[in-house]
Structure formats: structure tokens, C-alpha cells
Structure 1
């Protein structure tokens, strides 16, 4: 191949994102410089944080530039190298973006990570044994810090992050209750991931109804909560939280299209002396090695079998991404490029 097909951000959404905000391009290969490698991507990761990057407003990271390749994690194979640490055929994970091939300056530490797909499938290095898994590990272990017998809840429980939170919490002797959308996702959370219970939020029209369901599923209250959604889910959890509960805020997908997400009863944070902490996993690099070691053992041993939704071909990425924002995926959302 001498050309690369990629997807760039064509325009910034004003409200809901759509296909018109992306553009498909084909560009010729450029020759490698010293220190660079060319990677053929086999998988592209699609993640909710990408929606926030499409906006121009202030956030924890710089906005996605217009007319440049959409940001995204990738897993693939080195097909050309002018760097002594990388050889043809090496399997690597990086931030190659929404494209078939990437050229990477391999000199900076962390630009690429060599991985072994012998016992852990390559795709899982973008999910359970990658950034989503480390996100789950950090929020649970460093912020929630659960003790055996405590109750931990997690929203978006069947997703890439939420599923890992539950498996890790069960390994620590906790009662784990998930919140997910639809009977199939809830059945997966209970029967395959081993959660103690799962609440289908689609059956509960508001935060009060959801709080009632949480009371039944968590008779001893909630000691720790991992939040991926926000909005009515967080309002319901606050009503059921015990004194000194810990809440790790990872995502607010309910507000990713730009609408504000006010709390209905923030006084509960004071009344129950809650610890509520947001975090960005890329700022916690010191915890990636122990997190990946534990997650790799769980997946490699078969004790954790992550679910994946895989779209085919680079052209499918925008549609798959928009579906992710609407909860149409089941588990980790990927695009297979090879």
C-alpha cells in the first residue's frame, strides 16, 4: 500500500454530533525519517471522551484540531522502522488516530507500547488491558478504595470501563451492583461478569424511581460509586449513599452533547460527608504498570471476558462513534481495520 485512508474533524458540532462533522480522506505515504516507525493499524478504539475533544471550549485537554486526523487509540503492527527499538512485525499500541496507518516518532517515552497478543487478544489492549481498564482500576483502587463487604455501584456497567470496575471490585470482596441500559446488558453484567445485581435504568423514568431500585439492590446503602454517566444516575446514587462514601467521577456521557448537568441535591455531599473526585487517567501514569499487570492476569486467565462491539473498516468509524454516544454498543467499541 502507498496510500492512507483517514478521517478528520471537518466541523465542530453545535449540540449533537453528526456524520457531517467528519470527512474521509486518502493521502499518499510519506517517507520515514530517522527515529520514526510506520504502523498498520488492526484496531481503532472509539471512546466517549472523543466527543468532548470535538468542542472548542476549555477542558482538561486541548480540542481536536479541525482538518486533522481524529484522536484515538490504536493497536497494530510495525511494517516499517527507522528506530532501533522497533522491528518489522512488532505489535504495538499507541495513539495513531482514525486512520489505517500512522507514522510515529518513537523517541519519546510512551509514544508506542510493545504488546504480546499470545495470551491477551490484541483488541483487548485497547479495552480491558488498556486505557479503559486502567481508568477502572485507578478510580476503584485509588479513589473508592473499597473494603471487603462494602457495596460498590457503577454506571454504564456493561461498557469497557464499567465492566472492569465490577470485576476488580468483586476480586476485592465487594458487593457490586451495576446500572446499565436494557435486559441483555443487565443479564451480561450479572451472569457473565459476576455482579451481584444490575439495574436497568430504562425501566426507571427518573432519579427517584432509580433510587428506589438502588435501595432494593443495595440494602446496606452504597459505600463507593464509579460514575460514567452523570445526570439522573448520579442524583439517584447520592440519595442512597452512606456516610463517608467515595464517588469516582470518570465520565459524564449524559452531558457530552453540551447540555448542563446540574445536581438536584448537592447538599447530600455535605450531609453524608462524601468524597467526590474527578480524575483523568493520563495524569496517573505511575499507576499504569500495577493496573495493567492485574488486568492482564484477569483477562489472560479467563476470569474476565470483556465484551466487544466491532465495526468493520475505517469508513464505519463515524457511525459507530455516534452509536456509542447513544449507548448502542455492547462492551468496548472498536473498529477493525485489517
Structure 2
């Protein structure tokens, strides 16, 4: 089978499409004929060798996919061969950019028959991340104001739609003018270009000087410490990444300025297979089926053009998901 392999950490030239044996199928796993995969910033980090969790090289990249069930491992029930599914590929979020992948059953998202598999590949990581940010890592309530950095990206757009569905007011930042169009279309109240506006000032303006209830930060660098200045007293910042660089600041001092709190978040800590995870999968599937959760596709690439996909994602031009056509079903 064809698969995208990173032979050793480094530049895009380290990416290779190789012909590999099909994967084993352990008990409790489902073998998927992969139609589409989605390329995420974590794939870039794994290629570069800077991903927070260890990666054993060579490795097959790809952490989320869509396709159809090809075979059931021992002990699997409630799913049938031929079913349309989306999935996070497992705890290490690898092996998805291949013609077949074995996935733990707990990581599956069943799809309504007829749902476009191309669109479905965009949902697993970002939609479940957004759901658990709002309902597990934080406990939002109708009327709360949230500030989402990089609101034009996949997680940002999912947060916008799920936040609006929960009755929240959603504002967000983008790197430059024009990248927030989708967020506004999906119900964001205000999108702030960081290159021309002060997001702290805008946050205070839209909350009449009170500050926002929650900030979701995926950028780090100097944006993270300033995010605390946009909070109300007892507000919360949740960090989910450092796409703009590692921050360097005295976090304890910032917390005491408004008695705020700070947390990190990783979606798989929401325990796939647990009752709260099953509730999130059910909720996401319902939103997708109802058409009130939509994620735009920024660009798609064939599996043989994986280096071009990485280049596009690293260019920061994407507003929406970057897809990899594997089987193309």
C-alpha cells in the first residue's frame, strides 16, 4: 500500500511516498480503507522533530482520516464492514496517510450514509478539540464571551460554530486582514487582525471593559502573555499550541493580576471511549448531520504531493482544512 513516510526529522525533502505492507489488525481495532486524510500542524512538527511527544522514525504521518470499514478486529461490535467513518488514528496520531490504517474502535466517528467522505476528513481532530475545550476543559454557559486566537483555522472555525450553538459570543484574532471571512460567516461577532488592531483593546471594547470569560490560544509567543490582559477577573486562558513560537513570560505574575487561571489542553486526555468522549462523538455527529457544523476546505493535495501540502500549511495561507487525497472515494 502507498503511505507517506517521514524517514528522519528535517525538511520537506524528508517526506517520501513508499510502498509498505498492510497493517496488522489488533483486537479492538477497525481496519479502514482510507479515502481522505487531513494535514495538521502536528504533522509539520513531527516532520521537523519538534513534536512535544516522542516519535519513532521512520513513521507514517497522518492523524485523522475518513473512509470505509474494511475489516473488524476481534471483539469489535456495533460497526460493520462498509460503514462510512471518520477517525483519529490513535493515541500517537500517526499512520493515517496510507491506503489502509488500523484504528482503535474508541477513536471512530460513525458517519451518516451519504455524507461526503472528503468533507468528513476535516472534522475529527478540530471538532472534538473544540467540543472538549468548551465542555470539558472549560464549563461555558450561554452569554459568555470567548476570544479565539487563529479563529480562521480549523479549530477556530469549529469553536466559532459550536460556541454559537452553545449561546456564546465569539470574537477572535487572525494574522492579517481577510483571513477571518469564514469565522464571520459562521457567526463570530468580531474578527481582529493582529497586524493592525490591538486585540486586548477590542476585547475590552466589546465587553464594556469587563474582559472576556475565556481565551483559547494556539499561538504562544508574545500573544499568550497578552491574552491574560483581555480576561475578566477569574477568567481563564487555555493553551493548545505554540504555532508562533514558545512564550517566555512569568506566568505566575500574570495569574495574580486578575486572579485568572491557565491550563493546557490535549484532546486525547478527554479519554476516547469514556462516557464524556462518547457524548462528544454523538454531539459532533449530530451537528454534522444537521448541517450546523461545517468546515471549509482550504486546499486538497494528492498523496504524491505531500511535500506541497506541507509547504502550503507552513505558508499560513490556509483558512480551513488542508486535505490529502489517499483513496479519493
1:66 alignment counterpart: 57
Partner SS state of residue 281, structure 2: helix
1:131 alignment counterpart: 125
Partner SS state of residue 277, structure 1: strand
Deviations 1:127-171 (A, max 9, x none): 33x221111111112233223322111111122211121222222
Query: Structure 1 pair 320/247, CA: closer, same or farther in 2 (3 Å)?
Result: same
1:203 to 2:188 alignment: no
2:38 alignment counterpart: 45
Shift of 1:266: 5.4
1:99 alignment counterpart: 97
Query: Structure 1 pair 228/101, CA: closer, same or farther in 2 (3 Å)?
Result: same
Query: Structure 1 pair 124/246, CA: closer, same or farther in 2 (3 Å)?
Result: farther
Q: Which runs of 5+ in 2 are unaligned?
A: none
Query: Structure 1 pair 311/56, CA: closer, same or farther in 2 (3 Å)?
Result: closer
Q: What TM-score, normalized to structure 1?
A: 0.81
| 1:93–1:113 Cα contact (<8 Å) kept | yes
User: Alignment partner for residue 22 of structure 1, among 2, 6, 15?
Assistant: 15
Q: Structure 2: how far apart are the matches of 1:162 and 1:154?
A: 6
Deviations 1:281-309 (A, max 9, x none): 11212332222222222232222322122
* Correspondence 1:256-271 to 2 at 5 A: 260-263=246-249, 267-271=253-257
Partner SS state of residue 276, structure 1: strand
- Farther off after superposition, 260-269 or 322-331: 260-269
Query: Structure 1 pair 31/294, CA: closer, same or farther in 2 (3 Å)?
Result: closer
Q: Structure 1: how far apart are the matches of 2:137 and 2:324?
A: 31
Partner SS state of residue 133, structure 2: helix
Shift of 1:193: 0.7
1:302 alignment counterpart: 291
Query: Structure 1 pair 38/211, CA: closer, same or farther in 2 (3 Å)?
Result: closer
Deviations 1:27-52 (A, max 9, x none): 4x559779686533111121112333
1:274 to 2:267 alignment: no
Q: Structure 1: how far apart are the matches of 2:149 and 2:70?
A: 40
Q: Structure 2: how far apart are the matches of 1:46 and 1:131?
A: 10
Aligned length: 315
* Correspondence 1:165-180 to 2 at 5 A: 165-180=159-174
Q: Structure 1: how far apart are the matches of 2:286 and 2:50?
A: 39
Q: Structure 2: how far apart are the matches of 1:159 and 1:58?
A: 19
Q: Structure 2: how far apart are the matches of 1:303 and 1:58?
A: 33
| 1:180–1:199 Cα contact (<8 Å) kept | yes
Q: Structure 2: how far apart are the matches of 1:167 and 1:133?
A: 10
* Correspondence 1:129-168 to 2 at 5 A: 130-168=124-162
Q: Structure 2: how far apart are the matches of 1:290 and 1:37?
A: 20
Query: Structure 1 pair 82/304, CA: closer, same or farther in 2 (3 Å)?
Result: closer
Query: Structure 1 pair 306/70, CA: closer, same or farther in 2 (3 Å)?
Result: closer
Q: What TM-score, normalized to structure 2?
A: 0.83
| 1:39–1:80 Cα contact (<8 Å) kept | yes
Shift of 1:56: 5.1
User: Alignment partner for residue 329 of structure 1, among 310, 314, 318?
Assistant: 318
Deviations 1:284-336 (A, max 9, x none): 12332222222222232222322122423102223213422332212122212
Deviations 1:39-81 (A, max 9, x none): 331111211123333465683x332x22231242221124466
Q: Which runs of 5+ in 1 are unaligned?
A: none
